[in-house]
Chains A and B, each alone.
Chain A
Amino acid sequence: MDDSFKCTECGLCRNACPVYKALKRETVGPRGKVMLLKEEIKDEIFYACTLCRNCTVACPLKLELDKDFRKYRAKLQEAGKTTEASKVMIENVRKYGNPFGKIEEGKKPKELFCC
């Protein structure tokens, strides 16, 4: 999690983040997540990251926070913190090899999930 600890908390990447832009809540933005990670707060908010790396592009230090957030998700998983949607997706991947569940030939998936 090196890059998160290098973060200067300047906030310059905030408006590049699609999740922040949609929700306008500091907590879901890149800097907000860094604060949580530094405090070791295990919250499902880390699933609210598209891993798009827009924050890296906007960051003057080119920090790769997405890698840290991905690793932190694994920690959350271990701590039993996961979203309902990701539980279903994991189950589907195990059972059917895809996140959507059983798909009949030529048919669209019945449900689309997003964490």
Chain B
Amino acid sequence: MFNKLKETIGEENMSQNEADKAAYSSDASRIRGKADTIIWPKTLEDVRQAISYAKRHNLNVVPRGAGTGLAGGAVPQDSIVLDMCRMDRFAVQKDRAIVEPGVILDNLNSESDYILPVIPGSHAVCTIGGMIATNAAGMRAFKYGKMADWIDELHVIDGTGKMIKVQGEKINHFCGWEGSTGIVVRARLKLIKLPTLRTMTVLRFDSITPMVERLKGLDTSHVSALEYVDKYCSNLIGLGDMNHLIVEYESEEGEIKDEKELKKIWEKRDSLYAIISAKGYTVAEDPQVPLEHIDKLLYWLQKNDIPTFGHIGIGVIHPHFKKDTSQRLVEEMFTVVKKINGSVTGEHGVGLLKKPYLEDAYKKKIKELKETYDPSNVLNRGKII
């Protein structure tokens, strides 16, 4: 069936063998799906060919970066998987970078003194394409916002196989929609000069109320990261039996000045997801709530013994649930989240995991975008809606 496509893309860049299908059947969400074919495009023409082919044969295409997504966005469902990792060329020119989607964030950020300051915990492996598609945030979102804030221009191939160049407001038609409106094939990103000064203060609290009070009263003019680690998680990474706020400054204000010490604390924080997941808490959520009401959510999580850490400065936290008990508790949590005007996803995306909890306005928006850019539903079919 794929003979024609093999001719253009090259047999060595496609596979239907059992081993490849198994390796591509999931992502970091650990939701299992089924890959039909894996394609490793090298050029945007390869991507275009694959989409046009899928459209003609009523197949569906799942773009994939590093597969670190936690909502199952890259999990195939009898799909053609487009692994974008071989499209990984980039060029940095001072405070701008032209990148292909498979570029790994840490590779881009180690190229020069200019960096993309959006740093998810998966920075060592995650790709720019995946970050754009999920509108990733991360450790320094408090100061630097989300991925959408750093895109000058995008080139995407939509569900009809058409190449589109977008700037300004239209970037939001693709950024954050998890590959269901178009496949990112190139981007021009804004960079900043690597900050030379970083210090940190680690604040400890026995209970939630004084912590939230302190959070609200904090002078944040030079704060670059503001992270929360609850008691259970703090114990796991050796911080002790207290709730912690990790406050990073791009000034002299922090108590910890030694670069190595800072790095050690960030490494502990980076390791939390894997450590907690290994304890059986494999379902990672990412609600975003307004700071003025975050204590209500934190108290609910504490009452239900749900391990939690996250980017509290922007109201995004990561409660972790055990798979067998998750459904009832997750539903209850989202009721609390919605009551305090929060949203079900702050950074991981909807994918397969959060489909049942999606707000109506979100559903309406994706339906409209699908109608415009992917009327045949070729891209990431069955995700989000």
Chain B interface size band reads 20 to 34
Interface size class of A (residues with CB under 8 A): 20 to 34
Interface 1/0s, chain B 332-349, versus A by CB < 8 A? 000000000000000000
Contact with A along B85-107 (1 / 0, CB 8 A): 11010000000000000101010
- CB-CB under 8 A from A9, the residues of chain B are 26-28, 30
A12 contact set on B, CB distance < 8 A = 68, 122, 124-125, 274
Most chain B CB within a 10 A radius of its CB, from A9, A43, A58: A9
A6 to B301, CA, bound (A): 26
Contact digits for A1-34, partner B, Cβ 8 Å, 1 yes 0 no: 0000010111110111000000011110001110
- Which of A31, A39, A60 has the most C-beta atoms of chain B within 10 angstroms of its own C-beta? A60
Give residues of chain B (254-289) contacting chain A, Cβ–Cβ below 8 Å: 270-275, 277-278, 282
Neighbour of A11 across the interface among B28, B86, B88, B270, CB < 8 A: B28
The answer for the CA separation of A25 and B104 in the assembled complex, in Å, is: 14
Would you call A11 and B24 a contact (CB within 8 A)? no
* Cβ-defined contact, B274 with A10, below 8 A: yes
B269 to chain A, nearest CB (A): 10
Is B83 part of the contact surface with A, judged by Cβ < 8 Å?
A: yes
Q: Known contacts A10-B68, A39-B22, A41-B22; is A60 also within 8 Å of B271 by CB?
A: yes
Q: Answer whether residue B77 sits at the interface, using C-beta atoms and an 8 A cutoff.
A: no
CB distance from B122 to the nearest CB of A (A): 7
| Smallest CB gap from A40: residue in B | B22
On chain B, the residues within 8 Å of A76 by CB distance are none
The answer to the question of A61 belonging to the interface, with a C-beta cut-off of 8 Å to chain B, is yes
Most central of B22, B85, B88, B124 by chain A CB within 10 Å = B22
User: Is residue A115 contacting chain B, with contact meaning CB distance below 8 A?
Assistant: no
Contact of B125 among A15, A33, A36, A60 (CB under 8 A): A15
Q: How far is the CB of A55 from chain B (nearest CB, A)?
A: 12
Determine whether the beta carbon of B26 is less than 8 Å from that of A11: no
B228 in the interface (beta carbon within 8 A): no
Is B1 located at the chain interface by the 8 A CB criterion?
Answer: no
B22 surroundings in chain A (CB, below 8 A): 27, 35-36, 39, 41
Interface residue? B67 (CB, 8 A): yes
**B19 and A15 contacting across the interface, CB-CB below 8 Å:** no
| Contacts A11-B28, A15-B125; A60 near B66 (Cβ below 8 A) | no
What would be 10 A-B contacts, judged by CB atoms less than 8 Å apart?
Answer: A8-B274, A12-B274, A15-B124, A16-B124, A24-B86, A27-B22, A32-B23, A41-B18, A43-B18, A60-B270
A-B pairs with the 6 shortest C-beta distances? A60-B271, A32-B23, A60-B274, A27-B23, A8-B277, A43-B19
